[in-house]
Structure 1
Amino acid sequence: MKFEKIKYRDRKTGEIKEEKVPGEDYLKFLYYKPFGKLALESLVKRKFLSSLYGRMMNKKKSCEKIPIFVQENNINMKESVKNIEEFQSFNDFFIRKLRKGARTISENTEELSSPADGKILAYENIDKKDQFFLKGSKFSLGEFLRDDKLAHKFQGGTFVIVRLAPSDYHRFHFPASGSISDSKKIEGYYYSVSTHAIKKNFMIFCENKREYSILDTKEFGEILLSEIGATMVGGIRQTYIPETHVQKGDEKGYFYFGGSTCIMLFEKGKVKIDKDIVENTLQGVETKVYMGEKIGSSVKLSH
C-alpha cells in the first residue's frame, strides 16, 4: 500500500488540508518498511517504551520542548488557562485546560456534540466501514469489547472515530447528557493510532490498550464511549465520577502525551450523523471538529 500524506477537510472553509504529522518519517518507516515492522512488533508496541517516554515528559526539563511545540503546531495559547511559563512539565502542558468559552457546547439536547478536538470519521453501519480502510480488514465488535452480549447490542449501529493528533487539546468530554457507568479497562499494546497505521490495520483498535463506559441518554439511547491508548501515550485518566448523571460538555478525562482516539458506538437507528461528515468519510477524508461542536442529531430531531 502506498504511503500518502494525511488529508482532512476544514469544516468551516470546506478546504482540503494536509495534516502536519510530528514524526511522520518515523511512522512511514514503522508501518510501510519491512525493517520498520520488525522494530514495531519487537519494541514500539510494548508498554515499557511508551511508559518510559511518558515519565520523561513528566520531568521539569521537558518544559524546554513546549515553546517549540507551540510554534511548530500553531497552538493558540490564548485558549489555555495557564501561560507557557506556568507549566511544570511537558505533560502538564499537554493536558492543559481551556478557558471558559474557548469551546461552544450546543445547548440543544437533541444535538450530539463532538467529545474532543480532532479529525472525525463516521460510519452509519459499523458492518460497512471498508470504504476508507483496507478491504478485508476484519473488525470484530466482540473482540473490541471482549463482551459478545454487549457487542450484539451495537451490531449494525453507528461507529464514530475522533482521532486526536499530538497538537490537539487532549481532554475529552461527554457528547450528550445522561447517566454514566464505571470505566472498564482492557489491556493491550501501544500501536500508533495515526491514520497511517489504521489504514494498514483497522484491528489496532482491538489490539491496543483501551477503556470504555456506557452513557445512558434519553435522546440517543445507550452510547458506548471508548478511549484508545497509543504509542507514546503515557496513560488515559478518567476524571468523572461513575454512576452519576453528567451534562453534555462535562469533562470525562484526558490523555497524557501522544496522539490518541475517542470512539463512540450507537445502537442502530438512534443517531443521524451530520451529512458532511458522512460524505467526507465515504470519500476517505476526515473532517476537522472541535469539542462541543454539533456532529449529529437524534433520529427524532432529524425526522
Structure 2
Amino acid sequence: MKNFIQQLTAQEDLNFLLTNRIPRMTLTRFMGWWSQIKNPWIRDASIGIWKLFSDLDLSEARKTHFESMHDCFTRELKPGARSIDMREDILSSPCDAIVGACGTIEATQVIQAKGFPYTLGSLMGFSPRTGELVHSLKNGTYVTLRLTSSMYHRFHAPANATLEHVTHIAGDTWNVNPIALKRVERLFCKNERAVLSLRLQDGTPLVIVPVAAILVASLRLHAINLLLHLDYTGPDEIPCNIQVTKGQEMGWFQHGSTILVFVPPGFQLAKGIETGQRIQMGQALLEKLS
C-alpha cells in the first residue's frame, strides 16, 4: 500500500494537482488545528497516514510518546544525535535537509530551479534597510535547504552571531517541493516567510530565510518568543539584538519546508555540498575563504 501511494504521488502532474490546486490556505489552517488535537485515536491515525506518505523515522527522537501529531512534527532529537562542526571558518547547516539550488549569487539574482530565477529584493522585501542588506550580499553565495515532511524540523544557528532583525512577510502556502519549484515562478517570493538578519562576530552579515509551505505556514522563533503564522497581526519589522551560539536552537517549523541561506563574497560551498545532497544539522555548509 505504501509503495503504491508513493508511486502515485511521484507522478508530477498528479503531485502538483494534489498539493497545489486545492484551497491551500484553508487546508493549512485546518491542519494547524487538527495536528494539535491531543486525542490518542486522532494522533495515531494521523501519524499512521503520515508514515504512508513518507519515510518517517522516529528512532532518533528524544521522546517515545507524543501527545499529538504536532508534538511529533516538532520533536527534539536525542542528545548527541547531531554533531556540530565547530571550526571557526565553517558555517554549519542550520537544519537537516536536501540541498536544492546553490552556488553564486549573480549580482542579486539566484536560481530557484532551472530557468526560474528570483532576486534577493523580491524575496526579502524592498525597504531601505533591506536594500542595504541585499547590496551587502551581492555576488555572494547561497544555499537552498529543503526539509521534507519526515525530517527533523528544528533549525539552529550556523555560527556564533547576533540576531539583529527579523522581517515577517505574509504570503501564500504553495508546496515547495521540486515539482512545484519547476512550475511556479518566484515561488519562494510568494510564500509566507521570515528574513532573519544576523551578523557574525567579525561583522560579516548572514541571512537565513525560513519559507513556509502548504500545511506549514507557522514558524516558532525562540529568540524573540514569537509564533509567526497565517493569521499573525503583530509587527512585521522586529529589530533585536540577541546573541546566538553555533548550534543553538533558533526555532522550528510546524511541518517540512525550506530554509534559504545567504552570505556575502568571501565564502564558498563546503566540500560535498551540491544539489541533491542530504545534509544533517551541524554539518559543514559554507566555508570562509582564507
TM-score bin (small chain): 0.7 to 0.9
Contact 1:121 1:161 in 2 (8 A): yes
Superposition pairs of residues 125-144 of structure 1, within 5 angstroms: 125-127=104-106, 133-135=113-115, 137-144=116-123
With over 3 angstroms needed to count, the CA separation of the structure-2 counterparts of 1:262 and 1:117, relative to structure 1, is same
Q: 1:191 aligns with which of 164, 174, 181?
A: 174
Deviation, structure 1 residue 66: 2.5
Q: Measure the CA separation in 2 of the matches of 1:106 and 1:192.
A: 31
Deviation, structure 1 residue 129: 5.0
Q: Measure the CA separation in 2 of the matches of 1:106 and 1:22.
A: 37
Residues 132-166 of structure 1, C-alpha deviation per residue, up to 9 Å, x if partnerless?
A: 8232x231211111133332222222111110000
Residues 13-60 of structure 1, C-alpha deviation per residue, up to 9 Å, x if partnerless?
A: xxxxxxx969835863263xxxx49x946x434x22211112111112
Q: Residue type of the partner of 1:52? A: F
TM-score, structure 1 normalization: 0.78
With over 3 angstroms needed to count, the CA separation of the structure-2 counterparts of 1:52 and 1:92, relative to structure 1, is same
Q: State the number of aligned residues.
A: 262
Q: Residue type of the partner of 1:195? A: P
Q: Residue type of the partner of 1:298? A: K
Q: Residue type of the partner of 2:13? A: K
Q: Which runs of 4+ in 1 moved over 6 A?
A: 20-23
1:48 aligns with 2:48: no
Contact 1:57 1:91 in 2 (8 A): yes
Contact 1:188 1:208 in 2 (8 A): yes
Q: 1:62 aligns with which of 30, 42, 64?
A: 42
With over 3 angstroms needed to count, the CA separation of the structure-2 counterparts of 1:22 and 1:179, relative to structure 1, is farther
Higher helix share: 1
Q: 1:174 aligns with which of 157, 165, 172?
A: 157
Q: Measure the CA separation in 1 of the matches of 2:144 and 2:277.
A: 11
Contact 1:94 1:170 in 2 (8 A): yes
- Comparing 157-166 and 144-153, the one that deviates more: 144-153
Q: Residue type of the partner of 1:77? A: L
Other-structure match for 2:59: 78
Deviation, structure 1 residue 275: 3.9
Other-structure match for 1:102: 81
Deviation, structure 1 residue 293: 0.8
Residues 245-269 of structure 1, C-alpha deviation per residue, up to 9 Å, x if partnerless?
A: 1111100100003x20011111122
Deviation, structure 1 residue 276: 2.7
With over 3 angstroms needed to count, the CA separation of the structure-2 counterparts of 1:109 and 1:21, relative to structure 1, is farther
1:291 aligns with 2:276: no
Residue ranges of structure 1 left out of the alignment (5+ in a row)? 1-19
Q: Residue type of the partner of 2:119? A: S
Other-structure match for 2:247: 249
Other-structure match for 1:24: 9
Residue ranges of structure 2 left out of the alignment (5+ in a row)? 225-239
1:276 aligns with 2:276: no
Residues 73-101 of structure 1, C-alpha deviation per residue, up to 9 Å, x if partnerless?
A: 45443321110xx2111011110011110
Contact 2:101 2:113 in 1 (8 A): no
Deviation, structure 1 residue 72: 6.8
Alignment RMSD, CA only?
A: 2.7
With over 3 angstroms needed to count, the CA separation of the structure-2 counterparts of 1:233 and 1:124, relative to structure 1, is same
Other-structure match for 1:11: none
1:93 aligns with 2:69: no
Q: Residue type of the partner of 1:260? A: S
Q: Residue type of the partner of 2:134? A: A
Q: Residue type of the partner of 1:28? A: D
Q: Secondary structure at the match of 1:197?
A: helix
Give me the identity figure in percent.
26
Other-structure match for 1:261: 258
TM-score, structure 2 normalization: 0.81
Q: Residue type of the partner of 2:114? A: L
